[in-house]
Structure 1
Amino acid sequence: MSSESSPPLIAAQLNHLALHFPLLAKIEPKWSGSKDYSGVLDRFTLAISYCLDFIKWDVIFDAEYPMSAPDIIFGPEDESFQQFLVLHGEDPKSPMNRLGGWDSRDPTQLMLLVQELRDQYMAYQMKRVGEVQDDRVKFEISTIAFREMIVLIPSTFLQGIEMHLSSGYDKPEEVKFAVPLVDTNINKMVPGCPWIYPQKIYLQVIYPVENKFVSTPSAPRLKLVATPDLKTLFSIDDVKLPTWLTGMCMAEYLPPLEETLEKQVLEAVSLIDVRRRFIEALAVQFGRPVEADPIFCRKATFLAASGVFTFLVHLTITTQFPKQPPAIVLQSSQHFNPQGVPIKSLPLTDYPFSPRWEASLMAERIWDFLADEALIFKKYCNEQY
């Protein structure tokens, strides 16, 4: 989020928002709204994560009056959100209060305003979904609310499940739920974890709104979604969702799914040590690695030689190791293409390997394989050189 072209007071607000906002937020290209200060960017579109998607609001500062509070323009689908805010303006937590007492010299103001607006937007969407005339949606809300408050998160329903009513002239009404799964702090399970934000897994559940009685409603659309950094440890693409049976509701569907996910996350954490032992076994054969991933143990690079020919051995280890063999790429230390880039081999995965072998045997077989493969790679480099 660059703020180099914004007035200092506005830039400070943007920088604090970028560094400290607890959820994902993106500032899309900024523009100027002043004829006299055309080179000064004082307004932008803010994309804020909500219900596994993004809501976009225009934030309008005034370069001529940078000490003034910004105006917020909501998207066309949320025109009634403005009215909702006015009706709840007397709430002590209302963002209207912050706008009324705006302190431009406090760099936290914009971040706190966006956070308060998002909290109100969540309440606004809950109200909209609660007014939907669909018996199945109403039933799901009642069962999930009970589950969220009593079983999983005793504190408050609002801190867990998010929901959104999507409607428009050119698309049918749908209610989308974002249900957080695995009530465990995954970050704390990984020693030396580098993640800034808590890693989460969600189930996205989308119901078409049925305004008339349907004897056998169709199953909702289901999708697992995870925060981006989690793929370094655990890929949700490897999870097979259970079948949604006829007459089932989310309160029935979620517990077995969560139990499966919790076991798979624990297994994924335990596999870090399996990969670490494998890299240590490779070091016995190749020597100390030039570089290696010390936290997730997903990558390692070793220096090797075949006679006077020296090359690097790059290993990429998947989260499915040892079920899947590492991909090996060789890189010459002596041969470069016309652009000056070191010549590399294609990824090698077809070599002697078994997930049942001990790490030491895996390393020995890779060493033996590369003794022959190095000659082939050297010949290839000489032909390209």
Structure 2
Amino acid sequence: MCSETVSRIAPDLKNQIEVLLETGKFGVCSGDVRICDVKSGSLTTAKQPSGDRFKVIVPYGGQTLTWEVIFDQTYPEDPPDFIFGIEDTDDFCPDIDDVKSILEWDHRNPRALLLVIEELLQLYRQYQERLIEVSSRLQFEYSSLLDQTELKPDDIEIYAFRQSESKLGAVHFLVRLSADFNRIPHYLTRDNPGDDTAVLLLTFNSPDGSRVLPQLYLSPKVEHALGGAANLRIPAFPSGGCLIDYVPNVCQLLKNKVDQVVNNYEKRKEYVAAFLSYFNSSLLEYDADQFTKISFLFEWNDFFFILSIELPQFFPKEQPTLTFQSIYHECRGKPYTETYNDYPYSPRWSGNEMAERTKFVSNLILHNIFSLNDT
């Protein structure tokens, strides 16, 4: 929240604005609302702030809506008036009788303005739905998503760019994708507080749907947890395809990625637990948070060494790296080590079998090391 902007608001209206900025999460993307261009409609020369009109910027349909809100600071108990964006002035002009939160306006309720914005957005959604009635293709795409998927009206936002009163240009479909992000391990999300949001923006370059451009947007928290946007590439929209087929496919792709992250974490945890069970008395240290590293002090034919195991991000698909470190020898002033990541391995083995086989492989590697040194 911009404190400088809020500081220019008239005292009797300030609480309304603060609640709007602090708690207002709007639309499919749960985006923050902003205000700008704070002005005063009064000619007073009083020293206290007198701002009672401003522009509110609300995310919607992959765009932003800019509406001017007009209060009268001399009558703070009255509801505000609105001037809607230039592109909507002629058509989007809801009847005040349809806006219950204005008819029942209570200036003592700090959420009063927030409730009005929410209700106006619902009416704006209905306005956009009416705009696409001129296109049978767009109507089909929208109705099929609602009728044949688990999506609800609040999960889809439509934004149509108008070329004239009767002709549409490009049309946005902004779709909220459902996935259980709560399953993602805590260590991947704790440094990125915020929303768990994934939305799919589909742009129809024309109402006939001859070309559709899909774009996936993840909140910073989800993007970091899933390894970055480049790690989750969505397919191109197929020629002649429909949203009813494409959207569920992308949603499943997202769910599969979450499953992969969770399963990799659980497999690493299982692997480390198996080693702790088998070789607990030899344990030096292990990563109890991400389960990516574990180290042991082992003995082989009266030779003591440290075995460090690093588990890669895509374990068990990628095999662990084994590093053997001598506790006796140095190389250029550092402990002598040898690293191996090419040895018999199968991602289908259980954690217990991996522990058994890793110890066996370690003995073979040490035998080869000593055999080479003896020669």
Aligned twin of 1:106: 109
Aligned twin of 2:247: 254
Alpha carbons of structure 1 residues 48 and 229: separation in structure 2 relative to 1, 3 Å: farther
1:121 CA displacement: 0.7
* Structure 2 gaps, min length 5: 276-282, 292-311, 335-375
Structure-1 separation of matches of 2:114 and 2:325:
55
Aligned twin of 1:357: 320
Which residue, out of 190, 194, 219, partners 2:211? 219
Structure-2 separation of matches of 1:67 and 1:52:
34
Aligned twin of 1:177: 173
Look up the equivalent residue of 1:148 and give its one-letter code. L
Tell me, yes or no, if structure 1 residue 139 matches structure 2 residue 168. no
Q: Is the 8 A contact 1:9 1:105 kept in 2?
A: no
Aligned twin of 1:127: 130
Larger Rg: 2
Structure-2 separation of matches of 1:145 and 1:251:
9
Structure-1 separation of matches of 2:232 and 2:35:
33
Aligned twin of 1:268: 261
Within 5 Å, give how 1:184-203 maps onto structure 2: 184-187=179-182, 199-203=196-200
Aligned twin of 2:160: 165
1:164 CA displacement: 0.8
Look up the equivalent residue of 2:74 and give its one-letter code. E
Look up the equivalent residue of 2:320 and give its one-letter code. W
1:225 CA displacement: 1.5
Other structure's SS at 1:206 match:
strand
Q: Is the 8 A contact 1:13 1:110 kept in 2?
A: yes
Aligned twin of 1:318: none
- Deviations 1:340-384 (Å, cap 9, x if unpaired)? xxxxxxxxxxxxxx95225xx57989xx99x96xxxxxxxxxxxx
Structure-2 separation of matches of 1:274 and 1:227:
26
Tell me, yes or no, if structure 1 residue 43 matches structure 2 residue 46. no
Q: CA RMSD in A?
A: 4.2
Structure-2 separation of matches of 1:223 and 1:255:
14
Which residue, out of 90, 96, 105, partners 1:80? 90
TM-score by length of 2: 0.63
Count of aligned positions: 289
Other structure's SS at 1:58 match:
strand
1:82 CA displacement: 3.9
Between the aligned residues of both structures, percent identity stands at 20
Alpha carbons of structure 1 residues 221 and 288: separation in structure 2 relative to 1, 3 Å: closer
Look up the equivalent residue of 1:176 and give its one-letter code. H
Tell me, yes or no, if structure 1 residue 228 matches structure 2 residue 220. yes
Look up the equivalent residue of 2:206 and give its one-letter code. V
Tell me, yes or no, if structure 1 residue 26 matches structure 2 residue 33. yes
Structure-1 separation of matches of 2:285 and 2:250:
43
Alpha carbons of structure 1 residues 187 and 40: separation in structure 2 relative to 1, 3 Å: farther
Look up the equivalent residue of 1:8 and give its one-letter code. P
Aligned twin of 1:383: none
